[in-house]
Chain A
Amino acid sequence: MSENYRPVVNHLTRIILKLIEEPVPYELVAPSELQPPSAAGVRRFGESLARRAERVAAMMDVLAARGFTFKFEKDRVFADSIEMEAQDAKRYLLTKGFEDTEFQVLLEYARKWDTL
């Protein structure tokens, strides 16, 4: 491929950060069917939600440093960039110590000018 090839598309890299992990860790509330829910279980559940929220916030911090902007929809935060490419964004998050199970990467292209 020519080194000077001019892209004919624009892109949007979107990192999807779910505020509540899936599957929702309800087993923390009542570890088995035989055990009734307990106050300690609910606290554990709350702590897991807090841990997740902290991870999401940490990812938002590092993404903000690379110019991502944020949107909130339903139960998730969208971190958007029209500068950073998707592969680079994933690599970046991994190098910052995050796991690829903690986020989802969505990449969308659009024609830069109208064509076929």
Chain B
Amino acid sequence: MMRLLTLGFLLSGLTAWAQTSLVPEIALHRVEDPATDTYTFGPGACGDTITMRWSNTLTTNVASCSQNPFKLWASETDCADTPGTGDKRYDDVPAATVQGIRAGSWTLKLAELPGFANVPTDGGTQAVCGSTGLSKTHHICGNIEYTLFTGQFCGTTGTKLAAHSFKLVYDTLPPTAPTITSSAAEDKAVRINFEYDSDTSNVTVEVRESSDAGEGEYRQLNETVATNKLIRATGLQNTVAYDVRIRAKDAAGNVSDPSASVTITPIDTLGFFAYYQEKGGTDAGGCSTGLGLIPTLIGLWALRRARKQARSNS
């Protein structure tokens, strides 16, 4: 009796596992950058249209009893099982396409996302794509209602949300200004080490000669990805004092206020080559020794002679 119970338990577990594994696994991503699940944009991108892609990643085909389509929509809230009021619907994908072709794409206009198109129900001011001082997140959702064929009859039913819901983030808020933690003078350059907040993607460096008082005299020189935590301002003059500051930039292109500035004077340095020259070295660089090619020429001559010999023997 006990054995029968165990067997039954195992069989039901196996069936449940098999049914679970047959449910379509659908992924959503942006065609231009399939690796990320978030696209951040600023006011400058409000006129853009982006192309999204869905793909059924289940490796085996599914014998589905249901003909329910795959629904796609954009929402200001987390993805629910079905589109809600105010959500922006996109064209449904037929179940046969989900099972057969298994992938497809559609386009959406950023300015028509529900957060920009809907009038707030609480009577607040309607957001417009392009307005500043605003941060808004939209979720791109997909869902299919399925009924699985269990071998004899249409059995289990359920709903399957897209495995990776995609986020579109409208961001006009600048990141916090980065902090300069240390700085060093280099040859015709200065090096800045910094800390940054999580919203920062890039950091730019600005310099002005210390003798210039005006704010407008700062000029932007270099940019680096924030994770480097180090940026160089290059192309400077040695022995001239510079005021140096940095700014953070986020993925949407918003730029922070400047950091506090530091004053640094690039210095004349001697690397190995210059130090060697200062000590009396005479090397001019380049292929400075034509004599060194003599063994190569001898080798080529010997090779040519050997091939000639081989030809005459044959």
A and B interact:
no
Footprint of B on A, CB under 8 Å?
none
Footprint of A on B, CB under 8 Å?
none
